[in-house]
Amino acid sequence: MATVSQNSKLGNILWPTLAWGIALIFFFPIFWLVFTSFKTDADAVKPEFLFFFTPTLENYTNMTENYDYWRFATNSVITSTFATIFALFVGVPAAYAMAFNPSRHTKDILMWMLSTKMLPAAAVLYPMTFLTKNFLGIFDTHFLVILVLCLINLPIVIWMLFTYFKEIPKEIIEASKMDGVTTWGEIKDILIPLAWGGIASTALLTFIFCWNEAYWTVRLTTIDAATLSKLIEGNRAPEGLFFGRLSAVSTAAIAPIVILGWFCQKQLVQGLTFGAVK
Amino acid sequence: MSDRTLPRILQTPAVVLLLIWMLVPLSMTLYFSFIRYVLNSSIRPEWMTPSLSNWRGLGNYQYVLNAKDFWFAIQNSVFIVSSILILTVVLGLGIAVLINRNFPGRGIVRVLLISPFFVMPAVNAVLWINMILDPVLGLQGIAVGGLNNLIDGLRDFPVLGWFFDLWPKLEPISFRATQTSAYAVIMMVAWQWTPFAVLIFMTSLQSEDESQREAATLDGASPWSQFINLTVPHLARPIAIVVMIQSIFHLSLYAEIEIVSRGNGNKNLPYLIGEFTSNNIGAASATGIFAVILANIIAIFLLRMVGKSLMD
């Protein structure tokens, strides 16, 4: 016997409409950003052109000239890609060891790794500036940004990989040990193919976090290694003069990541709650 | 090689890297918080290099605790974080329950809803404060202007015009003042993080025991009492986790504050540290240590919960 409220005609129309309404409200700011990016700067602030205007691509074609977009975008791609690769490179062996050869300290090590993620970045702002500028001389280099992005995401990478690896039956790994396969062979030929989906979604999520990072990428760069976060932050207050072009560059900055994000919603839950919500 | 050594070797790079990353800058902050250390001083140039001879003991902490800015930043941090938490949890619960049923286009609704979460914070802030909330040129300004024109037009209406004469002229709100820019920050961050709460609550709702609900329905329990007595207890843990993860993220909120309210007095702890860092490193470091303590209190609770799930 079904409940009345769920099967009534009214409910069948009311609930989906409400759900669609809320989804559209939440999406509206993004829609508006993309919409505004097709207006000229002059049209973008005129109420009479609010919805009806002659669309133009000039904001996109002039993006290099106006903002040097591609330089910042290239920096974002380089730093996020390499940070993700390095984090996996360090994270996969660590998670492998913790999942298949746990010791009694494994749990504590995992907890401690997570706790490093919770340190407020601002607390070490000056030491980081001091070390990288005066001591190591790597301030505003790709190397530094890659290193920092890799380190701040490493705990999440290890946690996510750990939860994926734990689901692989131990017997498979042990059987290969019997056959005299080396550890490296185990990781390369057995673990990676088996956990491919998990590793890929970990990589995707890490890439997203790196791309959107907005503290260290802003504070530890000036020009050479500046990413898209820095570009947008630097153009924060156009005073209404450049709404069109600012919308275009912002759209270009978020589009790849929002689309990537659609593909890894599920992993997001696991990645951000460390497997605590199932 | 024994069974124990190899796993240890595999973990070593990760552990060592994180250990350096955590210990080196933090111990420097701790050290700087006990000495006099400024970047520019014509009167006391000896304070411009960090040295133990400039020992100040707890002086920096005292200075920070007596600074009006510090207490304002703490209050503001707490206000911003707790407002965001209340908004995201309440909205998140409502929306999760709403879309946790089958209807046409559910997949698209999910995709639309989650999108804000992937917008980079800098774009989020620039978009909201300019294109949406600007009192003249943003949507807010245009909407208020449109409404005023509409009312003006209605005033000339025969017979009923007097009624609209009584209406005041609407004033757009400027979101660039100290207090209002805190509201703007709350709005934009809640917009970004509500989808996250929805996603987590939905994941959890899907694991809810259906047979329990069916039994309750047969016993004649109303949907509301089912929600209160079955769903809310089931969601207690995800709610706690959403609250704690967000607290940690939002206590270090930076880009949004920087973009929305640079120089207008609206600040939180990370922003205050940034301000101190332009000259008074001792005070910046002491404030940093306070921020670490605050984050740790929350982190301990979160780690306990996560630790429990690790045991299963």
- How sure is the predictor about B3, in pLDDT bands with cuts at 50, 70 and 90? low
Closest of A5, A116, A10 to residue B20, by C-alpha: A116
pLDDT of B27-54, one tens digit each? 999 999 999 998 888 888 888 888 888 8
What are the b/e assignments for B104-141, b being 16+ CB within 10 Å? eebeebbbbbbbbbbbbbbbbbbbbbbbbbbbebbbbb
The owner of tokens 């332009």 is B278
pLDDT of A220-267, one tens digit each? 999 999 999 999 998 876 665 788 999 999 999 999 999 988 887 777
Q: Does B17 score more than 70 pLDDT? A: yes
**In this predicted model, which residue has the larger pLDDT, A139 or B155?**
A139
User: Chain A contacts of B238, Cβ < 8 Å?
Assistant: 273, 277
pLDDT at residue B311, as a whole number: 54
Taking the Cβ of residue B146 and every Cβ of chain A, the question of whether any pair is shorter than 8 Å is answered with yes
What is the C-alpha to C-alpha distance for residues A56 and A46, in angstroms, rounded to an integer? 15
CB contact under 8 A, B110 and A91: no
User: Chain B contacts of A91, Cβ < 8 Å?
Assistant: 14
User: Chain B contacts of A126, Cβ < 8 Å?
Assistant: 28-29, 32, 277, 281, 284-285
CATH architecture, domain B30-308: Orthogonal Bundle (1.10)
Q: Does B191 score more than 90 pLDDT? A: yes
Within 13 A of B271's CA, how many CA atoms are on the CB side? 25
CB contact under 8 A, A109 and B11: yes
For the residues A55-62, what does the mean pLDDT come to?
A: 91
- From A15, A97, A258, residue closest to B10, measured CB to CB: A97
Top residue of B18, B99, B217, B261 to mutate, by most chain A CBs within 10 Å, is: B18
User: Chain B contacts of A238, Cβ < 8 Å?
Assistant: 130
pLDDT at residue B309, as a whole number: 67
User: Chain B contacts of A115, Cβ < 8 Å?
Assistant: 299, 303
Give the amino acid at B242.
V
pLDDT > 90: percent of chain B: 39
CB-CB contact of B34 with B60 (8 Å): yes
Distance from CA of A25 to the nearest CA of B (A): 9
Number of A:B CB contacts under 8 A?
302
- From B121, B217, B218, residue closest to A212, measured CB to CB: B121
pLDDT > 90: percent of chain A: 49
User: Chain A contacts of B302, Cβ < 8 Å?
Assistant: 118
Q: Does A197 score more than 50 pLDDT? A: yes
User: Chain B contacts of A45, Cβ < 8 Å?
Assistant: 137
- From A98, A128, A269, residue closest to B25, measured CB to CB: A128
Distance from CA of A82 to the nearest CA of B (A): 16
pLDDT at residue B223, as a whole number: 83
pLDDT of A97-108, one tens digit each? 999 888 888 888
CB contact under 8 A, A277 and B204: yes
- From A116, A126, A276, residue closest to B309, measured CB to CB: A276
- Return mean pLDDT, chain A: 87
- From A47, A243, A274, residue closest to B130, measured CB to CB: A243
B94: left (phi over 0), alpha (psi -120 to 50) or beta: alpha
pLDDT of B66-119, one tens digit each? 998 899 999 999 999 999 999 999 999 999 988 888 888 888 999 999 999 999
B252: nearest CA partner in chain A:
A120
**Token pair recorded at residue B120:** 């980079």
Q: Please, which residues bridge with residue B35 across strands?
A: B55
User: Chain A contacts of B258, Cβ < 8 Å?
Assistant: 218, 233, 236
Q: Does B291 score more than 50 pLDDT? A: yes
